Structure 1
């Protein structure tokens, strides 16, 4: 009962957030949070550094994903130190990869890709967990269910990427095709699922001149599918079905990544099947073999309340805050847009 209550509450909160976000984020108002003056110009104005909602929603997505992983691993009896070590190491690999691989694929210096980061994470996570298991067992006499950690990471990833689609909506990237250019089935059954973007600094406007046109809302569909898989995967996890939770989130996220790129209009490389799609196809058979590395040991049933108590810990809260700040700074400082600022005194208020 507790598991269902927790997941139902989370689902209701996310549904309300998504309902608001899908309605307002395509608007021009929801791209730039603020501009910081950094250098004065000859004309007396200031050159501004833009902070974006793209960074804010990415930071929220990472915070939610890591918090969910913490709750799930805590519910399965994984020590907080093991959790923190795994997350810090994994993010240390994935965050640089999101830029390096995207630059290689798209031949652009100021870009990043969650698909690239997820590929590296899915490939590296099992081996990282095996390494942590060996270190923790040998040097600290700590034992934990390795498959539980891998499954929790996959479930958290699904939630994080689902919420992270809000960042793409606000920035106008990862956008779908004009609804008139979508396949017949999409036009027939999903013609109502559209965004109409406004604002010349949105990527969809300057990259493909699609401002003001009805665009298939592929980011919204991705957010709903991934979030639903994360919630269902969490329930499976909390009932001790670690491998099934892992399989569900793996197949939904990577399968949809392959399919959804055929519905997108943004540049993903010069091939008909992009490098990101190839990565997603590779991760599916690779992921299906992962449980073979972690034979199920059995033991205690996951305890959601224990996981929530682990989250309500000053050290873990600070850890989440640090990750939030790092992600916001890393992805929120816009390198593509600029601004000019002027200041004046309101004489009528002196």
Structure 2
């Protein structure tokens, strides 16, 4: 498959999805995707468990990021079963870290942080790859280039984070400052480019009382910047510049992470320069240090091999498993509840 055709097609697909999300998801009805009864209350009602669009969209983003990482890694000739193992080990670190880090930084047990999960993944990824090389690699005679594998993971993360901003628009989290509290130049800049959330159960409403206000569309800006970075990284990787792709995606995403927090209004800890910003800069420095010890080797890349890896029945089941685990992790709302009642429609008897 032609590389340019693939990257352009990927960009168009992501663009359509993001455009739909930007217009639709801040509305009130796009927070809950379903609710199911858990226990019976008085007067024929049931206490419900809410399932959120945040969880569904996050699961989509997680899975898409994993798919992209697998395509690129398989294109570089890495064994499929090893890709699955590395991905599972990393998800075993990053998924719990998204809650643990948020609890430490924000002192809230029902909050998730992608920034904290990313930092945990960056720190542990080289060691996981080296562990796999030292064990299975020795037994089955293969070697995963650390820089190449990290480039695949970084590009996958960048795409996943871009699409994951749709989840934030749905839940009303990670929100920017209201224009009413910004200076005149900022208000003028975002007068016709802003986001308005509706619904009292969105985080922007119950945490800051800002439902219905025009706000800096930080989630939209982030999604676009990350999507472009992911596309550039993909092109660089498929052209054989894995190390450059790694640095490009990591620097763009983490520098923007630092900058964007100055335009956000949601709680990020007590510090003016938050722990998440410190983690972002530390992730860049750590990765550059890792690359000094594991320079980028020459790797032949074939996109056709990457797509062949997707059609393996085991890989399809693996992707489905990633989606289910991700949805169960982030889709069950712990900050909202519901009451459900059932009745018979007599006219249809």
Output the TM-score relative to the length of structure 2: 0.97
Contact 1:182–1:263, Cα closer than 8 Å, also in 2: no
Is the 1:136–1:143 Cα contact (8 Å) retained in structure 2?
no
C-alpha displacement of 1:295: 2.5
Cα deviations across residues 75-115 of structure 1 (Å, max 9, x unaligned)? 00000111111111111011111111101111111111111
Residues 34 and 137 (structure 1), Cα distance of their counterparts in 2 relative to 1, 3 Å cut: closer
Q: Is the 8 A contact 1:63 1:324 kept in 2?
A: yes
TM-fit CA distance, 1:288? 1.6
Comparing 16-25 with 290-299, which one deviates more in the overlay? 290-299
Deviant stretches of 4+, over 4 Å: none
> Matched residue of 1:340: which SS?
strand
1:10 aligns with 2:7: no
Report SS of the residue matched to 1:18: helix
1:185 positional shift = 4.9
Q: Secondary structure at the match of 2:121?
A: helix
For residues 67-78 of structure 1, what are the structure 2 equivalents within 5 Å? 67-78=67-78
| Contact 2:148/2:296 (8 A) holds in 1 | no
Q: Compute the TM-score of the two structures, normalised by the length of structure 1.
A: 0.97
Mapping 1:49-60, distance limit 5 Å: 49-60=49-60
User: What is the RMSD computed on CA atoms of the aligned residues?
Assistant: 1.3
| Aligned equivalent of 2:307 | 308
Instruction: Say whether the 8 Å CA contact 1:119–1:280 is kept in structure 2.
Output: yes
Q: Which residue of 1 aligns with 2:337?
A: 338
Cα offset, 1:148, TM superposition: 1.3
Counterpart secondary structure, 1:240: coil
Equivalent residue, structure 1, for 2:347: 348
Offset of residue 195 of structure 1:
0.8
Give the number of equivalent residue pairs.
Answer: 349
Which secondary structure does the structure 1 equivalent of 2:211 belong to?
coil
Asked if the contact 1:56/1:332 (under 8 Å) is kept, the reply is: yes
Query: Does the aligned pair in 2 maintain the 1:133–1:146 contact within 8 Å?
Result: no
What residue is the counterpart of 2:319 in the other structure? 320
Offset at residue 137 of structure 1 (A):
2.9
Equivalent residues of 2:49, 2:337 under 8 A apart: yes
Matches within 5 A, 1:165-314: 165-182=165-182, 185-299=185-299, 301-314=300-313
Asked if structure 1 preserves the Cα contact closer than 8 Å seen for 2:3 and 2:235, the reply is yes
The answer (yes or no) to whether the contact 1:78–1:145 under 8 Å persists in 2 is: no
Counterpart CA distance in 2 for 1:68 and 1:310 is 11
**CA-CA distance at 1:66 after TM superposition:** 0.3
When structure 1 is superposed on structure 2, of 129-138 and 211-220 the one drifting more is 129-138
1:329 to 1:186, Cα distance in 2 relative to 1, 3 A: same
* Secondary structure, counterpart of 1:71 in structure 2: helix
What is the alpha-carbon distance in structure 2 between the residues aligned to residue 186 and residue 61 of structure 1?
30
Question: Does the 8 Å contact 1:191/1:216 carry over to 2?
Answer: no
User: Tell me, which stretches of 5 or more residues in structure 2 are unaligned?
Assistant: none
Classify 1:183/1:93 alpha carbon distance in 2 versus 1 (closer, same or farther; 3 Å): farther
Does the aligned pair in 1 maintain the 2:129–2:144 contact within 8 Å? no
**Displacement, 1:183?**
5.2
| 8 A contact 2:255–2:280 mirrored in 1 | yes
Partner of 2:161: 161
Rounded Cα–Cα distance in structure 2 between residues aligned with 1:239 and 1:247: 15
